[in-house]
Chains A and B, each alone.
Chain A
Amino acid sequence: MPSVTSLAWYAFHPTQLRSIIQWKVWHNPVHERDERKDSETLKRCFHFLNQTSRSFAAVILELHPELLVPVTLFYIILRGLDTVEDDMTIPLEEKEPLLRNFQDVLEQDGWTFNDSGPNEKDRQLLVEFDCVIAEFKKIKPAYKTIIKDITKRMGSGMADYAANAEHNINGVNTVKDYELYCHYVAGLVGEGCTRLFVEAGLANAHLLRKPELMESMGQFLQQVNIIRDVREDLDDKRRFWPKEIWSKHVDKFEDLFEEENKDKALACSSEMILTALNRADDCLYYLAGLKEQSVFNFCAIPQSMAIATLDICFQNHDIFKKNVKITKGDACQLMIESSQNLQLVCDVFKRYVRKIHSKNNPHDPNFLKISIVCGKIEQFIETIFPSQKPPVDVKNPASAEEAARLKAQALEARWDNIYMVLAVVLTIVVITGLMLIVAYFAGARFDIAWVQFKQQLGELLFSTAPANASINATADHSEL
């Protein structure tokens, strides 16, 4: 039941409520799932999916039946790997080999792991990992190969970080390290998903030949999460913002969170947001390569959420105090717009990029660069969905001869007009003259006509007195 305060809030934000109602009422999953036929172990897998990530579960559960199970398994396997990596209670000598060989675990029937720390929220997943392995055995070999390959590479990447003592103390150093970290935890997911889509025939194989696009898909989401979660990560004693960036603004990472360093902290967050925004156009390009609606929704919804999240994080000092979130109404609106076609997603990006641009602060050291990246995204959208067509009546050529000809033409036209007026005037004069002569010969009395004309004119101009005179005059002449 919604609280009184939230009801009051919605009373003043009716569009938010409208979006939520619209989404709840009108959204139909592209593919409906029939749960009754699922095996017990698969039901368990879906249970874990729902538990680990509500936002991702929503999009995964609507996926094309061909990919539903493989992607679900892919997701929870990586979540299992992540749980091992995060767990600081597992000693390194045990953790490192486990991370490096996690792909082999997938082939070991009945493998489970009970040594996770008591505070790991997904520890139950590892305790019942045999369910995952049982389902993994049933999917197509091609999908298994892809999932194992990604698991292996992600596991060894995580192991490298776990074994790197410096990283554990100081966090991420350079921007390159930062992007490499994001590559292991997210870029590889982008690659795995893309390979699954292409294998299932639901995405253009061309996407595999442009690896930077799928990399950007993962990087964009991960970087946005890292920006948004900066406070939460600090409280968990983790630090993903690279030193190369924050050291330009403050001496100690913790200084970012001090109230007196507000401007420096905002400048630092702008630089992080700028780094993420550089990936946005790649993401839109990637989405253009997807063929199937449910796959499109699966990819597009998180991207739209990410750009909206960047917007609320931009120039917002609250990110250093608490976890900021987009409103539920905005989230529903984004889901409505991101589950239809690329053009609407581009509109979403354009809208949020403009919002970001409007908040760009002239004092920010990266003011110009942010302005440029915003322009770049807008120009990119314009290249895929041009809003203007070349004019049909191409007014070419504009040559010197053409100009001279036009000028001569204009001159000619002017004289034409003069001749025309002269001819009309002349005709009227001649005809009037002829009529007058004919009338004269026929005995017309122009002298009388003239006097009458003057009288009538006088009548028109002066109302009373001259009117009498005119009567007299008329009487005089009538005798003739």
Chain B
Amino acid sequence: MAPTKVLVTGGTGFLGSEIVKALVETSMFCITAIDINPPSLGTSTFSDVRYIRANILQPEELQKVLNEARPDVVIHTVGVYPLGAARYSMKGKEAVFEINVEGTKNIIEASKECGARALCYTSSVTVVLDELESEFRNVDERWGTGRATTSYGQSKAISEHLVLSANRPDFATCSMRSAPIFGPHDPATIPTIHGCIAKGETPFILGSNTNLQDYVYVSNVADAHVLAVRNLLGPATAAGEAFFITNGEPITARDLCIAVWKEFGHVPPFQVGIPEGLAWWLGLGAEWWSWVSGTKGTFSRGVILDATKTRYVSIEKARRVLGYQPRVGLPEALRISCQHFKQQWKDQAKR
């Protein structure tokens, strides 16, 4: 029997390349990775993986690539999220929607057209949790999507719905709602937290520091995708379903930050608590300031809400249906990731 053919979109990206790696490790799949960018320097590529350059916003080009690769399964990881204050608003909606929604539409069409039997989509916990004013304690997949107040959350909710409603007996689809991902090469989480050290922001505790939040290590998300692919091709109990994927270790945002700073040898010299109410006004002030001064600030009410609200989910469904188990725990995961960044920055400094 010929090995199952898998195509990964965004296959050279942060998560995509990790999924490719996890697929290679099973030695069960014949893998094609497509991406708008070639593999970047320093990331690992595999000799028996085919890397093809393609733009998911060009339907004809995309169809040609997929028809040629004839995958049995497509894993769609491509997505964008706005950085900074725009992450928490509807600003820049069009660009986000174009890639996240139109891109997904194109992938669904092209996958069906080329005869793929399954599609696994990388979604986000934000489809539920991006209702920024609300608190979410151990919520599960029964919670509805579509209340998100950010362009990112909305775009992910819409595209996830497109994917799940495309589910048919001969075209099984599922959605992996991942928590904020960190790891080596991680473009946002760890660099942002590390950035606080230089800015002298580490002593300030926003809110009560009792609000739990979820994070996930990149290889655990990759594992979940591989499990989902195997499920869709096998018992297909995951077909048409969405799953929360996290490290299953909710902690406070403050504690995650401290753990990261510690990895870089920094411990806050003292700690000052800023109550949630005051923080909200500071956020508003920062927004006004960036509006008046015309600069792009990182501090906003969205950031404050994100840091001070309880937002964690249950991964019971993923455990039950997919057999998902976060293999790398947070302490180990942070150690590996920060080690990587330390090395990378040291090398950059040398050059």
Contacts and interface: CB of A to CB of B under 8 A. Distances in A.
Contact of A368 (B136, B143, B147, B331): B331
A432 interface: no
B210 to A, nearest CB: 6
Majority secondary structure, A binding face = helix
A212 interface: no
A400 B101 contact: yes
A358 B254 CA distance: 11
Interface in B137-164: 137-140, 142-148, 154, 157-159, 161-162
B267 interface: yes
A100 to B, nearest CB: 41
Contacts of A371: 251-252, 255, 259
B293 to A, nearest CB: 33
B145 A368 contact: no
Contacts of B252: 357, 371, 375
A383 B138 contact: yes
In this complex, the member of B127, B142, B148, B158 whose beta carbon has the largest number of chain A beta carbons within 10 angstroms is B158
A118 to B, nearest CB: 51
B19 interface: no
A391 B143 contact: yes
Contacts of A399: 158, 161-162, 165
Contacts of B251: 368, 371-372, 374-375
B144 A383 contact: no
Contact of B162 (A363, A378, A400): A400
A350 to B, nearest CB: 10
Contacts of A393: 144
A443 interface: no
Contacts of A394: 142-144
B268 A362 contact: yes
In this complex, which of A360, A386, A388, A402 has the most chain B Cβ atoms within 10 angstroms of its Cβ?
A388
Interface string A366-399: 0111011011101100110011101101111111
Nearest to B271: A362
A319 B107 CA distance: 62
Given A399-B161, A403-B158, A375 B258 contact: no
B209 to A, nearest CB: 7
Interface string B108-131: 000000000000000000010000
A368 B144 contact: no
A354 interface: yes
B342 interface: no
Contact of A397 (B105, B165, B249): B165
Contacts of B334: 368
Nearest to B147: A395
B158 to A, nearest CB: 5
- Tell me if B's interface is mostly helix, strand, loop or mixed: mixed
A382 B210 CA distance: 14
A336 B212 CA distance: 29
A367 B262 contact: yes
Contacts of B12: none
Interface string B244-266: 00000111100100110010000
Contacts of A403: 154, 158
A372 B267 contact: no
B143 A390 contact: yes
A400 B105 contact: yes
Interface in A387-433: 387-388, 390-391, 393-400, 402-403
Which residue among B127, B161, B252 has the maximum number of chain A CB atoms within 10 Å of its CB? B161
A375 B212 contact: yes
Given A379-B212, A390-B142, A395-B145, A368 B162 contact: no
Nearest to A397: B161
A354 B210 contact: yes
B173 interface: no
Contact of A391 (B138, B144, B259): B144
Contacts of B209: 357-358
B132 interface: no
B23 interface: no
A378 B314 CA distance: 12
A417 to B, nearest CB: 22
Nearest to A394: B144
Contacts of B165: 397, 399
Nearest to A381: B138
26 contacts: A354-B210, A357-B252, A358-B209, A362-B258, A367-B258, A367-B259, A372-B249, A372-B331, A374-B251, A375-B212, A375-B252, A375-B312, A378-B212, A379-B212, A379-B314, A383-B138, A388-B135, A391-B147, A394-B143, A395-B144, A397-B165, A398-B146, A398-B161, A400-B161, A402-B161, A403-B158
Given A358-B210, A397-B165, 9 more contacts: A367-B262, A388-B135, A388-B137, A390-B143, A391-B143, A395-B147, A399-B162, A400-B158, A400-B159
Interface of B: 101, 105, 127, 135-140, 142-148, 154, 157-159, 161-162, 165, 209-210, 212, 249-252, 255, 258-259, 262, 267-268, 271, 312, 314, 316, 329-331, 334
